[in-house]
Structure 1
Amino acid sequence: MWALQTPTELEGNITQIKWGSRKNLLAVSTSDSVSILSEQAMSSHFHQQVAAVQISPSLVNVSFLSTGSTHSLRTDMHISGVFATK
């Protein structure tokens, strides 16, 4: 089974990447900035033809498979879990 990986987008050319500490941190240096990335587990749930998939720490896509419609839900806080129901 494939594990869901967290997508991350950075601007600029990456010049250096280094693992750091025992907390699974990744330091990424670009021509303009340095970013410290940490692992975050993503959530998903499927029930009664409704699928909810966490896309980023604050974004969930909800798909209604019976109608083919999809909606994006953005929050002002980090999402810690999802549950889908009709």
Structure 2
Amino acid sequence: MKPRLTFEEHTEMGHALARIQDELQNRSVRLANAYPRSGPEAIPEKKLDQACKALSEARSALEELLFKEHPERAGVTVYYPGRQDDRP
């Protein structure tokens, strides 16, 4: 069996993924406001939106693993830490 993430590793992963998702969402909105919503010029924004959705699914799956592996310390703020200003 492979070693699982420690609680501290889950915490670092959660904060990193939250920052990345914020950045992807901000870039996606910027592209959506700058280019048409359809046609070839819309492809970059659609790809970023897909990446945001995939990242959200990964965060949710990791949160489930966190609660399974570290039930005594797990909390929703590990993978969903709140406002960007509150993150390390």
TM-score with structure 1 setting the length: 0.26
State the structure with bigger RCO (CA 8 A, min sep 6), 1 or 2.
2
Greater helix content: 2
TM-score with structure 2 setting the length: 0.26
